[in-house]
Amino acid sequence: MGTWRPYVERHTKGLTQAEVAERTGLGQTAISRWLREDTNAPRAEYVVAFARGFNLNPVEALIVAGYVTADEAGTATEGRTPIADYPDMELMDELRQRFNMRRPVTDLTEAELVGELSRRVGLNGPQGRR
- 8, 36, 102 from 20: Cα distances, Å: 10, 14, 38
- In a shared domain, residues 52 and 27: yes
Q: What is the mean pLDDT of residues 4-33?
A: 91
**What pLDDT is recorded for position 54?**
93
pLDDT digits (tens, 9 = 90+) for 35-47: 887 666 788 999 9
* Structural domain contains residue 9: yes
What average pLDDT score do residues 2-29 get? 90
Cβ atoms of 35 and 5 within 8 Å: the answer is: yes
Q: Please report, as a single letter, which amino acid is at residue 53.
A: G
For 68-108, what is each residue's pLDDT tens digit?
888 888 755 555 667 777 787 777 777 777 766 666 666 66
Same domain, 61 and 95: no
Compute CA distances 112 → 103, 115, 118, 122, 130, whole Å.
Answer: 11, 5, 10, 15, 20
In a domain, 80, yes or no: no
The model's pTM: 0.56
Same domain? For 21 and 59 the reply is yes
